[in-house]
């Protein structure tokens, strides 16, 4: 097991010191992952490139148990260039929570279930690993494409923002 790239089949090409990025779950647990693994999410990649990742990247909508499973997925696929686009993995977390990871345009989408009332019951709630707008979160939850015309997107975003204004 290679401590640097966090895989079992390290080929030594990561002999250079890999940069570690800290991801902080909603319950304040820090996860150190390689930059390569974390960069599978476009949002995190942008933050790294813009130099915003120094203090650790907070992920307020992901708990530590879910994040651990997600990072397992990321680490597995960091070594390959293109993750299998069709694959969807279901991962069972602890305490009856269930994380379903699916591919998305910009890195894995975490479909997170709140603790289910009965084991095996589907609760299609979700959040992205990267932050989306409110409409985006609903789209991620239900896997619906945003098909608004470009000229309408801004107006609709404003409408949604107004509805949520305190």
Partner 1 sequence: MPRQAAAAVAAEAVMEVEEVGEPEDQEERWARLLPELLSEVVRRVEASGCERWPARKDVVSCACVCRRWREAAVAVVRPPAESGKITFPSSLKQPGPRESPMQCFIKRNKKNSTFFLYLGFTNSPMDKGKFLMAARRFRRGPHTEYIISLDAEGLSQGSHAYMGKLRSDFWGTNFKIYDSKPPYDGAKASSSGSSRRFGSRRISPQVSAGNYEVGQISYKYNLLKSRGPRRMYCTLECPSTQETWDNALKTKFRKPTGPTILRNKAPRWHEHLQCWCLNFHGRVTVASVKNFQLVAAADPSDPTSTVDEETVLLQFGKVDDDIFTMDYRQPLSAFQAFAISLSSFGTKLACE
Interface positions with partner 1 (CB under 8 A): 88, 90, 100, 111, 114, 122-125, 134-135, 137-139, 141-148, 151, 154-166
The secondary structure of residue 14, as a DSSP letter, is G
Nearer to partner 1 among residue 1 and residue 142 (C-beta): 142
**Closest separation between CB of residue 113 and partner 1, Å?**
10
DSSP reduced 3-state for 31: strand
**Closest separation between CB of residue 137 and partner 1, Å?**
7
Q: Could you give the CA distance from residue 39 to residue 53 in angstroms, rounded to a whole number? A: 11
Q: How far apart are the first and last CA of the chain?
A: 51
**Closest separation between CB of residue 104 and partner 1, Å?**
12
Q: Which residues contact 67 (CB under 8 A, 6 or more apart)?
A: 23, 25, 29, 31, 59
Q: Residue 133 in contact with residue 157, Cβ under 8 Å? A: yes
Nearer to partner 1 among residue 1 and residue 164 (C-beta): 164
**Closest separation between CB of residue 34 and partner 1, Å?**
30
Nearer to partner 1 among residue 3 and residue 147 (C-beta): 147
**Closest separation between CB of residue 23 and partner 1, Å?**
22
CA 8 vs CA 45, 77, 129: distances in Å: 24, 12, 25
Nearer to partner 1 among residue 16 and residue 122 (C-beta): 122
Nearer to partner 1 among residue 19 and residue 133 (C-beta): 133
Q: Within 105-149, where are the H helices?
A: 134-142
């Amino acid at each position: 097991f290679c401590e640097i790239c966090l895989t079992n089949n390290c080929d030594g090409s990561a002999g250079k010191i890999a940069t570690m990025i800290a991801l902080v779950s909603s319950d304040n647990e820090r996860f150190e992952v390689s930059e390569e693994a974390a960069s599978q999410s476009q949002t995190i990649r942008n933050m790294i490139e813009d130099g915003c990742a120094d203090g650790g990247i907070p992920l307020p909508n992901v708990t530590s148990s879910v994040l651990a499973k997600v990072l397992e997925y990321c680490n597995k696929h960091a070594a390959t260039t293109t993750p299998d686009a069709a694959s969807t993995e279901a991962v069972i977390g602890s305490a009856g929570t269930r994380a379903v990871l699916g591919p998305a345009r910009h890195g894995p989408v975490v479909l997170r279930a709140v603790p289910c009332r009965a084991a095996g019951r589907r609760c299609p709630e979700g959040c992205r690993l990267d932050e989306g707008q409110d409409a985006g979160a609903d789209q991620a939850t239900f896997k619906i494409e945003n098909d608004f015309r470009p000229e309408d997107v801004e107006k609709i975003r404003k409408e949604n923002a107004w509805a949520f204004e305190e």
